[in-house]
Amino acid sequence: MNIFSENKDFWGNAIDSRRSVRSYERTALSLETIKKIQDFVPTVKLPFSNEVKIVFFKTRENHSLANNLKKPPEDAVAFITDTSNFYNVTAVGFVGQLVLLYAQGLGVSNCWFGHYFLDEIEQLVPDIDNIKGANRPRFGYGKGKVDGVHAVCVSPLGYFKSDGIRAKDRITSSFISFKWKPLDDLLLNGIKEISLPDALRTAFNMARKAPSAANTQHWRYLIYSDNKTVEIRLTFDTCLKL
Ligand SMILES: Cc1cc2nc3c(=O)[nH]c(=O)nc-3n(C[C@H](O)[C@H](O)[C@H](O)COP(=O)(O)O)c2cc1C
């Protein structure tokens, strides 16, 4: 048993209803909701070691967190790790997405932001290394390998504001959200969805709906003939064997 099989409907609904939200009511989450999400964090176990730290923080009213997030909700979360280690950065994606899906299941909208305003995040989030010097980026923690402990991404946590939705949000939700590659395009070695056992087909069809920056879906699955071992290959330089 794992957290998914114990509550399939909860996770299935969270995955199917999820989309990145960039327009929010300025409403705080209840203490009960925040506590539920915080209590969920230590239950996430990955099949590889990692050092992901998750920090919940309050935003400042009318202070942008990112270009696409001029009016953040009151609550947000930062996914922090030592970014000199590529596996730590990768782990942020796995742990972070489970936490954000759990929030979604509780009705709390969210959106990954890698392109956050560094000035704002360094002020609000404790215990991250300040980036100094000529190469200091304006957005995110920088490109390539960056040493030190940084927020890889942040996410607002709040409730969707349907009126006054910004044009950018409208464009992003109509052109990008809910547009994923078909599973066949993500399977390596010529494996076709139709040949997979039901359980694998269901699992991969959920996995393919994971968010990615600009919905680029930079991952491919190599399923071994035992139908148990899977390599997740990134379309750049490395892979994870699970
Ligand atoms: C690691 C990561 C970083 C992202 N960074 C940003 C960002 O900086 N700004 C933004 O507007 N959206 C960002 N997104 C959200 C993606 O644009 C979004 O997931 C994608 O367009 C698919 O839409 P969906 O999440 O609604 O399915 C990011 C997503 C991921 C996974």
Q: For residues 137 and 185, state if they share a domain.
A: no
Q: What are the phi and psi torsion angles at 234 (to 5°)?
A: -85, 150
**Domain shared by 158 and 191, yes or no:** no
**Does 239 lie in the same domain as 217?**
yes
pLDDT tens for each residue of 24-71: 999 999 999 999 999 999 999 887 778 999 999 999 999 999 999 999
Compute the half-sphere exposure of residue 38: CA atoms within 13 Å on the CB side of its CA.
12
Encoded tokens for 76: 């947000």
Confirm or reject: Cβ of 80 under 6 Å from ligand 1. no
Stretch 91-105: mean pLDDT: 96
- For residue 190, what are its two tokens? 């010529």
Residue ID of nearest Cα to ligand 1 atom 10:
113
Instruction: Specify the pLDDT at position 168.
Output: 60
Whether pLDDT at 209 is above 70: yes
pLDDT attached to residue 86 = 85
- 6 CA to middle of ligand 1, Å? 28
pLDDT exceeds cutoff 90 at 175: no
Tokens of 187: 């399977």
pLDDT of 189 above 60: yes
179, 198, 215 — which closes off a domain? 179
Band of residue 4 on the pLDDT scale cut at 50, 70, 90: confident
Tell me, using a 6 A CB cutoff, whether residue 208 lines ligand 1.
no
Give the count of alpha carbons within 13 A of 92, CB side only: 25
Residue 142 and residue 188 in one domain: no
Name which residue sits closest to atom 31 of ligand 1, judged by CA: 212
Atom of ligand 1 nearest to the CA of 139: 8
**Residue (of 47, 124, 138, 131) closest to 78 by Cα position:** 124
Structural domain ending residue among the three candidates 143, 163, 179? 179
Distances (CA, A) of 27 to 61, 101, 122, 171: 11, 20, 23, 24
Structurally, how many domains does the chain consist of?
2
Last residue of one domain, picked from the residues 160, 179, 198: 179
Q: How far apart are CA 149 and CA 234, in angstroms?
A: 23
Distance from the CA of 114 to the center of ligand 1, in angstroms? 8
Domain that includes residue 93, residue range: 3-179
The predicted structure's pLDDT at residue 220: 94
